[in-house]
Amino acid sequence: MIGRSLPDRGRTSMTTRSLAKLPAYVLLALSPSLAPAQDVNSASKDHEAFRSLFAPACEKVRFVTLRVRRDGVARAYATLVDVRGYAITKASEFEGAQRIECDVDGKRLEAKRGPVDAACDLLLLDLSEALRARGKPVAALSFASVDPAVGCFVACVGTEEVPSAIGVVSLPTYERSVRGLARARLDLPFKDDASEACLGPIREGPLAKSGLREGDVVESVDGRAVSSPRSFQRAIRRKRPGQRVRLELRRGDERVAIEVEVEASVDRYGPRDPQEALWGRLSRVRYGFPRVLQHDAVIDPFECGGPLVDARGRVLGVNIARVGRVETHALPADLVAKSVKKLMDLHLTGRSSKAAEARRGHAAEVDAEGKNGR
């Protein structure tokens, strides 16, 4: 059932349930007795006339939604999550970016890159200094503690008065961390300039605890000969995630055998479909999220990172990926809230450490000047 559209037989009951949950202003607009007759196209949920019905639900939330640019080009939305000027956006769209900017009141403000939650594909952006310099008060998003029912209408909030897309919740919130796309992986730090599978520096962690050392040369994996980092990876891909393998190493004049566990690598890009050219662009990173809320709103991949609200304006989550023709994934509100807390803690702890180091450095300079003056 995962990733498929709902069967026809459920659409009538779903529509009834959806209408029952709509607020009065939407029901009045949809009522045939009160609203003028419209053609088929204007009755579509993708038509601006229909999307404009949800403008009141998006009115407050759109003011905490920002357009984010990578090296001058719009690549995603960002959602303000803290009144001090911190926002979250889709991390993979800004890998390798030289400059990240957010559009605020017609101006482009540079954002500082914060930590990344790789599992959720969220990047924390620090706009605190830029917003403080402009004297702009900051509003922040509050997430709803509701579990939306299948069939409820949802709106994808952007920076305009009218939401960018309207959809219907397709499935209950579910886990989608692997989806059958897991592959075996073992990332060893091979030296770039080595003609053989020679290891570089080993950081503290499971690899160091296993007994691997810098300078070790991998000669075989479970008896399969290895002559380079590429042939090592080919040997590992034949294994299963979680399987233990025996590495035969050359360490100087010695031969050493070490057992390590193969990791699981999730293909976050997913298989390509021949129909994608007809569907429009899909998100580059669209799998591997801990949990998702699936809906059928059609958005551009560069519209990810913005809030998803229900017809009452309650924030249900943040859009994170366009996955298929009528399949878009949002991170549920509770998951986003936990991720934001983690990212904020990491960022603020890092800032405190840097500030303490700067104070110590300044104190040392003052002390040195005092001694030189004596």
Phi, psi torsion values for 53, nearest 5 degrees:
-65, -25
Q: Are 301 and 12 in contact (CB under 8 A)?
A: no
pLDDT band at 296 (very low <50, low <70, confident <90, very high): very high
pTM above 0.75, yes or no: no
CA 122, CA 336: separation in Å to the nearest integer? 9
Instruction: Please say if the pLDDT value at position 38 is more than 60.
Output: no
CA 349, CA 365: separation in Å to the nearest integer? 24
pLDDT tens, position by position, 117-142 = 988 999 999 999 988 887 767 777 88
Q: What is the mean pLDDT of residues 22-50?
A: 57
Task: Please give the pLDDT value at position 210.
Answer: 87
Instruction: Choose between 300 and 26: higher pLDDT.
Output: 300
pLDDT band at 9 (very low <50, low <70, confident <90, very high): very low
Q: What percent of the chain has pLDDT over 70?
A: 76
Task: Please give the pLDDT value at position 333.
Answer: 95
Instruction: Please say if the pLDDT value at position 227 is more than 50.
Output: yes
pLDDT band at 369 (very low <50, low <70, confident <90, very high): low
> What is the side-by-side strand order in the sheet with 254-261?
224-225, 217-221, 244-251, 254-261
Q: What is the mean pLDDT of residues 87-106?
A: 92
Task: Please give the pLDDT value at position 77.
Answer: 97
Q: Are 318 and 330 in contact (CB under 8 A)?
A: yes
pLDDT band at 6 (very low <50, low <70, confident <90, very high): very low
- From the list 222, 150, 181, the residue with the least C-alpha distance to 5 is 150
Instruction: Choose between 350 and 292: higher pLDDT.
Output: 292
- From the list 234, 214, 215, 216, the residue with the least C-alpha distance to 224 is 234
CA 117, CA 130: separation in Å to the nearest integer? 23
Instruction: Choose between 28 and 166: higher pLDDT.
Output: 166
- Average the pLDDT over each of 14-23, 125-134, 305-314 and give the range with the smallest value: 14-23
Consecutive H or E run containing 41: helix 40-43
β-bridge pairing 182-185 and 122-126 = unpaired
